[in-house]
Copies of this chain bind each other. A is one copy, B any other.
């Protein structure tokens, strides 16, 4: 389960050391961590990180297969997670130390900045390969954060981007040596902690208004 820690002004949300898929309890735990963080005042920023081979593999397809009747509620809760991150009133940095796939990759795009380990691990949207179309909300999120060329290639060809390729394509902001990844993420977050506040929240909410509308359309999340 995700855990929240704090270093000076920077909160660190550890997503776990497994595949870190979005089980309903995992999502509830992330939401609780954000609730706790939002109670604090003053300069603050957020780093999300994980340990092991995966940053996150996205949707919990196993749980979903066993709970088909809760499909729409589940999609809405994932959309809600993306929307919440996309509009957080503080700077968020994703430290991608391992595989970042599917909804895990989308989750990373809902952060302000992404750093990725340079030598190992892939960022990938495999949906076209595994025959799961992106929801309109997911599509809008991805397209709002990548250039048209990169979004198209990532979404229709399921290309696996290594760290350096992801940086070259503008998917992540920087590829970093494994040993320096978490420190670099903490420093970047610390440098922008003073920007936390309502203005930043308003800036992000206005920038991504059409995406947030789609992600929060709970009556018809599958389009």
The reply on A61 being an interface residue by CB < 8 A is no
Write the nearest CB–CB distance from A153 to chain B, whole angstroms: 7
B residues near A195, Cβ cutoff 8 Å: 128-129, 156-158
- Pick out which of these stretches binds chain B: A27-35, A72-80, A144-152: A144-152
Write the nearest CB–CB distance from A123 to chain B, whole angstroms: 14
Bin the interface of chain A by size.
35 or more
The majority secondary structure among interface residues of chain A is helix
Number of copies: 3
Give which listed residue, B135, B139, B203, contacts A128 with CB less than 8 A: B203
B residues near A209, Cβ cutoff 8 Å: 136
The reply on A23 being an interface residue by CB < 8 A is no
A214 to B174, CA, bound (A): 34
Write the nearest CB–CB distance from A204 to chain B, whole angstroms: 7
Given contact pairs A151-B207, A156-B192, a sample of 5 additional A-B residue pairs in the complex whose CB atoms are under 8 Å apart: A128-B195, A131-B199, A139-B207, A147-B148, A153-B173
A contacts, CB < 8 Å to B: 91, 112-113, 127-129, 131-136, 139, 143-149, 151-153, 155-158, 170, 173, 192, 194-195, 197, 199-200, 202-204, 206-207, 209, 223
